[in-house]
Chains A and B, each alone.
Chain A
Amino acid sequence: MRTLRTLLIGTLLRAKHLSRSPFEVALALVIPLVQATLAVYLFRAGDEPHRLLEAAVGAGLMGVWASVLTGSGGAIQHQRFEGTLEIIMLTPRHPVLVVLPLTAATAVTGCYALVATLLWGRIVYGIPIDLAHPLAFGAATLACIAGLGMFGLLLASTFVLMRNANALANPLDYPIWLLSGMLVPISVLPAWTAPIAAVLPTTWGARALREATVGGPVWPSIGICLALGTVCLVLGAVLLKSFERRARAAATLALA
């Protein structure tokens, strides 16, 4: 209970901090419009107007993922620059409790992109927002935040352990969009991608959102998304502990 509270409050305050960055705000205003446009033209060209809403949802999720990837990949490095890494590592709790709010917050602010994409789609292109399961859509959105936040934690801890791993962050944008079926249905991708897609929390988050939009079981996908997220969390926790130990030995918690 205490742990959940810490995670929740940590995430919300962290999201508040992020949402006040001029850079983030500018991105958040522009990207969803681009996403919505992308969705519309991709699918108009493909002559499938009935799938416009589905496409807009997928595009919105791409926005969430972009936010998690850029935000989480550099989350720890960023704290180091702000001079707060030492202070948060000095808390008498497991480092996961400190780092997960950082990455979950990037998913929360990313969700704004999801909502904004749908709104832009509605306003500019007249895509009606009639969801098959509105309630389940809300649940799927929360599952996406949690799942992507936990995935983000794994990225954060991996990137901080590997030198210059941030260079990896940007090229990861597109493969995950594609692999998780945010952009096009997984069924059109080559068969070898299926096993990779199956272990990504993003795939199941995207699927849950799609099922809530056009109709489908939703809840199993939510469950799998959260389960895979938990696996990321456990792996991330192990990596973070090892990072902490190494950083204390190598004096890398602060800038030299």
Chain B
Amino acid sequence: MVSGEEVSSLAVNTQPAQAAADERIREVGVLSRLMARPELGALVAVVVVWLFFAVVAADNNFISWATTAAILNRAAPLGILAIAVALLMIAGEFDLSIGSLVGFGGMAIMMLVTPVEAGGFGWAILPAIGVALLITLATGFFNGVLVVTTKLPSFIITLGSLFIFRGLAVAVPRSATNRTQLGGLDEVSGYGPMDAILGTKLELFGARFDVAIVWWIGLTIIATWVLMRTRVGNWIFGVGGDNVAARNVGVPVNRLKIALFMTTAFAAFLSALIQAFQFNGADSLRGSLKEFEAIIAVVIGGTLLTGGYGSVIGALLGTLIFAMVQQGIIITGVDGDWFKVFVGGILVAAVIFNNFVRQQATKR
């Protein structure tokens, strides 16, 4: 046992050596260290699912750039949602309204750019995006304020929001324009440059990759950095681990939660925006069930439903699994109905596996 004075006088760079010499530590292998990472289970699952389809769908060109592009294109809009949902879930809250906000945000943009004759506002594209973004962020603010002031479970509050915002996304355009699908985005002034950053496809290896993939991966990197290396990241873990304790040591719990609900609203908006460019318009029903798919992706990625533990990389891997299974089932020609069975099975397996891993990791 080294006494306190000795420890404090030790130079910084000698400390790892001193730690290694501690007789109470035994060498743990690389595997055990990996086991302590939340995304390990998802990483294993990505490999397993990929190998599975690589064998089963070998005749259907599963291992090809075209299929890879199709998987990633499918994953990106969901992946963007899953990033924000992961941050919120690590902080111990749910947002069930995120899917509705995809429909809501898309319709907000399209309502603003639709010509006045057709019942819209006839705005140019940039101001429309700006204002629609503000409106969607306000919905996140609304969710957040309601959760922190009522102290009710966010599951219930946002379940209400799920219906409110889906309802608005259908009712408002229908009463103004008589339609629940609005198209013609490419005719709006200012379309070109925005399409270049949101809607284009990149030709690589003879396949077409959506630019959305760049957004997805870029935001994953940023969110991972925020989570692991900033004050806010530390607060997110703290608040999810123990709300009261975090407040007692000075974390601005309420402001953080409101900001995170606004982050999920932002993710919903970005996903809606990208899809508006991909589909040249919006649909009131876009994003239906995405709230559950995002939660599933995040949980497969190793994030605890109860908060306090998880990773954004895991959410990316979980989304990837989701998209691989979906694409794999399509190209093998298996009836699409089986997709749900498969996804449900993976979800349960992931939760069991993650639970096991976490127990191992904290047992030591």
Co-complex (A, B):
no
